[in-house]
Amino acid sequence: MSELSGLKALVTGGASGIGRATAALLAARGADVAVLDLDPSAVGEPLRGYLADVSDDASVRSAVAAAAEALGGVDILVNNAGIGAVGTVGDNDDAEWHRVLDVNVLGMVRTTRAALPRLRASAHAAVVNTCSIAATAGLPQRALYSASKGAVLSLTLAMATDHVREGIRVNCVNPGTADTPWIGRLLDRAADPAEERKALDARQPMGRLVTAEEVAAAIVYLASPAAASVTGTALAVDGGMQGL
């Protein structure tokens, strides 16, 4: 029997990058997995895809209800959907702050709120939030993004405390720069994307980006019964960036 067989998992933002790798690994370990995403069209078997916008409470509630019904419960919730923002505090206006916080922070609140009754009914309930080293690293040109991930870190710790006696564990992962379509889109804006990619690799302590699969492995560990006594933790998967 596989490690996660019988467990039901929801992964937001699971159609791309870290979420996609996580959904695939959860399924490979035996979990039944539903992906909630703005674009679930590319989600293939054995995963179930559901259209959901985490910035819209009604959309989240109906997607979580449909997915939980189809799966027969929710044991694992991976709050992974997120968007980026570039700039100093002087660069982003209120509308941009609201837009990013609405997805990156309230998105996790909405999905967790919608899944809580199912999580409370689970004997192996685990929530894993995709945070970032931006939460603690003071990255340049990332004021809004960093604030959003700082909130995710605090939210993770608060949720871990609030729900520990209900048997729900809550942890987060803090990826460094991870090789996903997100980073591909940023590189595409450079004059010479291939050169920019080389420079980006060279800036990493390990000389390369973290892979989506490496982050997924950490998420799946935190979600699994192997981490049954682990809650309120932030696990860095950053190739040594945080230590600099």
Catalytic site positions: 145
CB nearer to ligand NAD: pick between 157 and 187: 187
State the nearest-atom distance from the C-beta of 122 to ligand NAD, in Å: 23
3, 72 Cβ separation under 8 angstroms: no
- Fill in the DSSP letter of residue 87: B
For ligand NAD, the binding residues (CB under 6 A) are 12-13, 15-19, 37-39, 52-55, 80-83, 103, 130, 132, 175, 177-178, 180-183
CB nearer to ligand NAD: pick between 43 and 125: 43
- Fill in the DSSP letter of residue 209: P
For β-strands 125-130 and 234-237, DSSP reports them as: unpaired
CB nearer to ligand NAD: pick between 119 and 144: 144
State the nearest-atom distance from the C-beta of 96 to ligand NAD, in Å: 14
Handedness of CA 207, 209, 126, 106 (dihedral sign): positive
> What is the distance between the alpha carbons of residues 41 and 50, in angstroms, rounded to a whole number?
9
State the nearest-atom distance from the C-beta of 73 to ligand NAD, in Å: 21
Give the count of beta carbons closer than 10 Å to the beta carbon of residue 15.
22
> What is the distance between the alpha carbons of residues 54 and 74, in angstroms, rounded to a whole number?
17
State the nearest-atom distance from the C-beta of 5 to ligand NAD, in Å: 26
Contacts of 138 (CB under 8 A, 6+ apart): 146
CB nearer to ligand NAD: pick between 75 and 214: 214
